[in-house]
Structure 1
Amino acid sequence: MTTYMERLAQVSRKNESLLCVGLDPELHRLPEHLRGLPSHEAILAFNKELIDATCDLVAAYKPNLAFYEALGPEGMESLRATVRHVPNGVPVIADAKRGDIDNTMRLYATAVFDVYGFDAVTASPYLGRDALLPFLDRADRGTYILCRTSNPGAADIAELDVGGEPLYLRVAERVPTWTSHANIGLVVGATAPTQLARVRAVAPVVPILLPGVGAQGGDLEASVAAGLDQTGDGLLVVVARQVMYASSGLRFAEDARTAAREIRDRINAARVTAVDALRGR
């Protein structure tokens, strides 16, 4: 059995990439020539062209389920078709942020992994270990736990003092101990590089999913330096709008490819600089 983390590492090496492209289509931002289609057909056509144009430049894709749920059953069918269109081997992460009691989470796990075919999922830690076990017990799939997110209000809860440490550090320390399958990661935003560095210090080998670069204003180079592990890996940088909406005309997929390549190369350059610094060069 090949695990999610193994598949991710294989694609990352093959494509020389730590880039995860978000697939979060907004109807009003789609290219003009697609807007005449029914909504669910338009987003599927858009996603397929984006995937075809970028699949050799990415380490993974990450659709946020809300963009598909808002379109009803047809939107969810477009989501499933999107996942199926991704070339075999390239991981797809469900940005679902699930969190509920264990019997409900079992059904969420079935839906995300078996019905829709995702390789990994995002989830909340706040119902505790037993609630997450239906995800974590799937040794071949990955789960990224919300730790210190990228939104402006993240500090309202994540920075609360818990015995002299902020809550997000307690999450980073404790959550990785909840499974022995090496299939767990943390979601930490690029908009908080100081907190990202603190998470990496207490969770040195835990994979980090890093949203917040690009439209949300996170500093790519600072985040890569703060988030890489000691081997120069362990980080997946999420970019959505900069790639998806690089342009809005007939060439949108070609321009998305150019944007994805430029971002991948920036990540790789920052990675080299950070690894050299780690090695004292």
Structure 2
Amino acid sequence: MTRSELFAQIQQKSSFLCVGLDPDLEKIPRHLLAEPDPIFSFCQAIIEETADFAVAYKPNIAFFEALGAKGWDTLARVEELIPDDIFTIADAKRGDIGNTSKLYAKAFFESMDFDSVTVAPYMGKDSVSPFLEFDNKWVILLALTSNAGSMDFQLIEDKAGKPLYQSVLEKSQDWGSPENLMFVVGATRGELIGEVRKSAPDHFFLVPGVGAQGGSLSEVAKYGMNSSCGILVNSSRGIIYASGEKDFAKAARREAKKLQEEMKNLLQKYM
């Protein structure tokens, strides 16, 4: 998917919502366990009820690969369910070098046809550039994440006082462009989103941490939005686990709609 196609979806739906698909067998409604493939049935229902409001879906690969070969089959089937005009993110957090990275890219971009994959930058350019060789595919690079341990490395400053995440942002923009490179920027670091935007004015951000992790949607929009919206805000647990009963999909729809309505107001305010 191209940047212009993504922006068109944002405009059409008045939404920058990404729904995270984190299907945990211990958390999905119990009645689904009688299904031949409970994870597929769960994701199918969520997608069918939230596609009106979402411009992206982000399956977390760990929840599928933990189930072995069947989980990979389920992931492929779930990816095929997602409408073609909705952006797809393989949240795999890969990060290796040379042919290994190229094969990871082929797995997600060719075998399963995802639009993007999350990539860890720690090993540098040769761990990222193989993913950038595919037309109309995206790298979503981990820059400033929302987990507590992110401070262990990402905020370490060099002798000039520059934090590591800023070095990642600056250096990686030599590898890709706003047409194929996004950055993960956590919503729970609200006070820093504006600093990240200064360093990467034109790139899209994938922003986790709104909802269950306590991030503020209004702060994310205020500090992160640019002239092309420039943000995809992910909500996982707050939507997909809004109910643990048979009405789980309808409950997910209500939560997705609620976020979309707030996003519509924010788009009108800042764009």
TM-score (norm 1): 0.92
Residue 120 (structure 1) aligned with residue 102 (structure 2)? no
Q: How many angstroms apart in 1 are the aligned matches of 2:7 and 2:69?
A: 33
- Mapped pair 1:149 → 2:145: yes
Question: Structure 2: 5+ residue runs without aligned partners?
Answer: none
**What is the count of residue pairs matched by the alignment?**
270
Q: Is the counterpart of residue 267 in structure 1 residue 259 in structure 2? A: no
> SS in structure 2 opposite 1:191?
helix
Q: 2:216 aligns with which of 203, 215, 219?
A: 219
Percent identity over the alignment is 40
Tell me the secondary structure at the aligned position of residue 188 of structure 2.
coil
Name the structure 2 match of 1:228. 225
Contact conserved, 2:138 with 2:182, CA < 8 A, in 1?
A: yes
For 1:173, give the aligned amino acid. E
Q: Aligned residue for 2:12?
A: 14
After superposing the two structures, state which structure 1 stretch, 244-253 or 43-52, moved more.
244-253
Residue 89 of structure 2 corresponds to residue 89 of structure 1: no
Q: Distance in 2 between matches of 1:12 and 1:69?
A: 30
1:150–1:191: 8 Å Cα contact kept in structure 2?
Answer: yes
Aligned to 1:56: 52
- Shift of residue 56, structure 1, vs aligned partner: 1.4
Cα distance in 1 for residues equivalent to 2:264 and 2:162: 33
Partner of 1:279: none
Which residue is 2:27 aligned to? 29
Q: By how many angstroms is 1:184 displaced?
A: 0.3
2:236 to 212, 231, 240: 240
Q: In the alignment, is residue 190 of structure 1 matched against residue 187 of structure 2?
A: yes
Which residue of structure 2 lines up, in the alignment, with residue 78 of structure 1? 74
CA RMSD of aligned residues (A): 1.4
| From 120, 133, 136, the counterpart of 2:132 | 136
Alpha-carbon distance between aligned partners in 2 of 1:9 and 1:181, rounded to the nearest angstrom: 12
Seen in structure 2, the aligned counterparts of structure 1 residues 201 and 64 have a Cα distance that, compared at 3 Å, is same
Q: Deviations over 1:205-262 (max 9, x none)?
A: 1110000111111111111211111x15000000011110111222211111111000
Q: Tell me whether 184-193 or 127-136 shows the greater mean CA deviation.
A: 127-136
**Structure 1 CA distance for aligned equivalents of residues 8 and 198 of structure 2:** 25
When normalised by structure 2's length, the TM-score is 0.95
Residue-by-residue CA offset, 1:42-74 (whole Å, 9 max, x unaligned):
010010011111111111000010000111110
Structure 1: segments with no counterpart, 5+ residues: 276-281
Tell me how far apart the structure 2 counterparts of residues 212 and 180 of structure 1 sit (CA, whole Å): 25
